[in-house]
Amino acid sequence: MTGQAGGADGCGAVRLLPWSRADGGPCYAIGDGTGHVSRMADGIESIQLGMAEDLLGHADALLADRRVTGSELHFLDSRLTESLRDVKRVAESRGARLTQLTGQGPR
């Protein structure tokens, strides 16, 4: 279903949303990308990307500290993993929307 032009009834583009269902499965929106859900998704993606950038700064500082503990590294690893998962979902969603707009797949 990801990246396909048109929903089940042909009413709009399919967008992978930056959150999951309760069971961990993906959520999608179908429409022209201008509705409330799309605007909310845009905002959440922006927050996720900003948090990833901030986290990279914290990681640089923590890794430069030779006194860092194993617990601190484990915490950093957990946050980096969460952030990478979020950023990957944003990239997949945006890549699918580009494909819908251009009609071309990734190069």
The string of pLDDT tens digits covering residues 62-95 is 999 999 999 999 999 999 999 999 999 999 999 9
CB 25 within 8 A of CB 15: no
**Residue 74 one-letter amino acid:** H
Query: What's the burial of 28, exposed, middle or buried (CB within 10 Å: 0-12/13-18/19+)?
Result: middle
Separation of alpha carbons 76 and 30, rounded Å: 36
Tell me the residue length of the chain. 107
Q: What is the model's pLDDT at position 69? A: 97
Q: What is the model's pLDDT at position 104? A: 75
Q: What is the model's pLDDT at position 105? A: 67
**Residue 22 one-letter amino acid:** A
| Mean pLDDT to the nearest integer, 19-37 | 94
Give phi and psi for 56, each to the nearest 5.
Answer: -60, -40
CB 106 within 8 A of CB 99: yes
The radius of gyration computed from the CA coordinates of the chain, to the nearest angstrom, equals: 17
